[in-house]
Amino acid sequence: MTPLLAPDAMAPMYRRYVGGERLHVAEADPKARSSWVFDKVDLDRPHLERP
């Protein structure tokens, strides 16, 4: 199932992936290391931003 079709990221079948993603973000801080971030929180208005 693609992330866009995932009904609930906290559903039991996805829970371990969410925890891994949080750990990665906390330890690697990818946003701080990026030149650009593609913000798609609002799918009607995605945009690029500098961190």
DSSP for 5-36, written as a single string? G-S-TTSTTTHHHHHHHHHHHHHH-HHHH-S-
So what's the pLDDT on residue 26?
A: 93
Identify any residues that bridge with 37 across adjacent strands, giving them in sequence order: 49
pLDDT tens, N- to C-terminus, the chain (51 residues): 455 555 677 788 887 788 888 899 899 998 888 999 899 888 899 999 988
Identify any residues that bridge with 49 across adjacent strands, giving them in sequence order: 37
pTM for the model stands at: 0.53
So what's the pLDDT on residue 20?
A: 87
So what's the pLDDT on residue 6?
A: 56
